[in-house]
Structure 1
């Protein structure tokens, strides 16, 4: 800075700051940190100003117009400064803190969180949502977080805050033991519980966690497929609905495969209906009793003593040896069997 900046700094009489989007803390740029005695400090409704002298917080100013003088700043009783033709300046800093709510800040799991589910066992889940913060204790936030930078934006701290939120929500999900199938119906309750659980962490650095929203908790693809299969099996409990489901699936597959044409659609449709009919028959038809195989009678000799006749009915043959018998013969001349 040159001589002009030095002279201009001696005539500073109004200290104010118009909020910038996303800026939490702003340090007023005074030449050589010299603030003129009797300067006017204007603090707006959404702001707080902190007067720092030689690295120590001298006073905190709320909304309104304030005159900076030794009467209003009793801490500054000894001012060692170069004597100018003007009033002796303060060798101090003025920090403006934005006290408004910073909304729509995003949080999300960088890596999957492992939890134990009573139905699916060990699974990995991801989640994301939004949250809002505001400065609760300006002096504490200035000491612990801000430091001596020119300005401090929300992007400078959101990484740290996101890790705190993800850790707290992961711990809460593990303690709640809510099945993953019921998580979507508990987002509001989990958000409120997370807000209460995380508030002490934010208060320890001078911030207030105004709100926290869980927008979604997603599951791995393989777990989602398992849920889809289970839903399909539940539909199969009603075979009429199952047949309709199979028909709709076949039509959808045919639509997604235009190369298959009408033949592909007909084949898929027929397979779905055939499967449904087969299952319907298996469930609705009573079980048929098994029939015992017919018993086999043991063969005995001479069971048939009647002579075997030729097709003409004029000649007789022995039923034992097959020899030709004479007319009116009572015994076989070959084997002696009775005819």
Structure 2
């Protein structure tokens, strides 16, 4: 290679004729055009493709911004840079400036989530903890502001770098929003759409402040501890369950727990008592259904024994309210777990008025009635 070829090659690398960026990645948000020590030639071509914005930076100061299109660089389309450079009457010599290409297409399916549980104060359940996660989509709507406030001098800025900042912002604003919403805890899962829209409106100004537009925001799930879920489900059924039936259900569960925990004959007896009580309740529930069915006349003599006499049912007072009826074994279990005591008022069919438990003859056994009464004349 001759001396003239070397000079020609050197000159070709000193001046830049075409400025463009071909993005071969899916995650690059901002790319700085590498000119090294080269200078941009007067009347050089700037090519900005769809989904891009070109930003000129002169000595750390924001200069001109170009939308998609092809430009011939001169003092006419570089007004801010011309002022910063002091070109009053145009320029003919090459110049130095940093050129950043910003990707303005939509970045979709970005994930967010709460790193730690959010503590809320619910009116009915007290302090509760929830977690949430979802997705969002964003794009750059002010390339100059984004470069100045976020990118700085980074030569290749990816969405991974900005996502950590955005996810922290989202988690903080989500916590503030759900705290101010003061929704009943059971309604969060059923109102994710409305809550997502509210959160998006709250977060949008902060995204805009750094040149980013929050295009979409979704809350995909709001989770809570399993024991809280069970408590909410039980609470939600209270409006549909009769209080008396709920009391019976709780009593049956107490009897079952007692039968499980107590060993020996006492536990077996309690378990048998529970079985009889449940069988009686199931029979009472099935009776109305069976009564509505027409039975075919029997063609043979009925050899079945007559039904057993109906067990005595007791009503009792608890917390100033009437409850029952319950069978003898159920009442005994209620006495054992201190739901009722010796002074609790009791009534059964045949009694004129309510009487304390200790005055009902067959219930005195609850009080430890293994001691015989005093001898006559003593």
Give the TM-score of the pair, scaled to structure 1. 0.67
Change (3 A) 1:118 1:274: farther
Give the aligned partner of residue 172 of structure 2: 167
* Partner Cα separation in structure 2 for residue 169 and residue 91 of structure 1: 45
SS of the equivalent of 1:106 reads strand
Residue in 1 aligned with 2:110? 105
User: What's 1:93 paired with?
Assistant: 98
Which of residues 69, 76, 94 is equivalent to 2:82? 76
RMSD: 3.8
1:193 pairs, out of 198, 201, 208, with 198
CA contact (8 A) 1:33 1:92 kept: no
- What is the CA distance between 1:10 and its match in structure 2? 3.1
Residue 54 of structure 2: aligned partner: 49
1:10 has 2:18 as partner: no
Residue 38 of structure 1 pairs with residue 99 of structure 2? no
Q: Is the 8 A contact 1:39 1:68 kept in 2?
A: yes
For 2:278 and 2:149, the matched residues in 1 are separated by 69
* CA drift at 1:236: 6.7
Q: 1:143-189 CA deviation, whole Å, 9 max, x = no partner?
A: 11110111111111111111111111111111111111111221111
How far does residue 288 in structure 1 lie from its aligned partner after superposition? 3.7
Judged with a 3 Å threshold, the aligned counterparts in structure 2 of structure 1 residues 278 and 78 are, in CA distance, closer, same or farther, namely closer
1:175 to 1:13, Cα distance in 2 relative to 1, 3 A:
same
How far apart are the structure 2 equivalents of 1:272 and 1:11? Answer: 96
Q: Is the 8 A contact 1:22 1:153 kept in 2?
A: yes
Q: Is the 8 A contact 2:40 2:97 kept in 1?
A: yes
Measured in 1, the distance between the counterparts of 2:10 and 2:275 equals 91
Q: 2:185 aligns with which of 180, 186, 200?
A: 180
Residue correspondence of structure 1 range 170-249 to structure 2 within 5 A: 170-230=175-235, 237=242
Shift of 1:54: 2.2
Deviations 1:248-276 (A, max 9, x none): xxxxxxxxxxxxxxxxxxxxxx9997564
What is the CA distance between 1:6 and its match in structure 2? 5.3
Contact 1:23/1:98 (CA < 8 Å) preserved in 2?
Answer: yes
Aligned length: 266
Alignment partner, residue 326 of structure 1: none
Is this contact kept in 2: 1:33–1:93, CA < 8 A? no
Alignment-derived partner of residue 291 in structure 2: none
Q: What TM-score does the superposition give when structure 2 sets the normalisation length?
A: 0.61
- Greater RCO structure (CA 8 Å; 6+ sep): 1
Contact 2:15–2:39 (CA under 8 A) maintained in structure 1: no
- 1:71/1:173 CA distance change after superposition, 3 Å: closer
* TM-aligned CA deviation for residue 4 of structure 1: 9.9
Does 2:348 correspond to 1:287?
A: yes
Distance of 1:109 and 1:271 partners within structure 2: 50
Deviations 1:21-52 (A, max 9, x none): 11111101113152222221111121110112
Deviation digits for residues 216-272 of structure 1, max 9, x if unmatched?
Answer: 111123312323554687887597xx99xx9xxxxxxxxxxxxxxxxxxxxxxx999
Equivalent pair of 2:14/2:38 in contact (CA under 8 Å): no
* Residue 66 (structure 1) shift: 0.5
Equivalent residue, structure 2, for 1:249: none
Consecutive unaligned residues in structure 1, runs of 5 or more:
81-86, 247-269, 301-339
SS of the equivalent of 1:178 reads coil
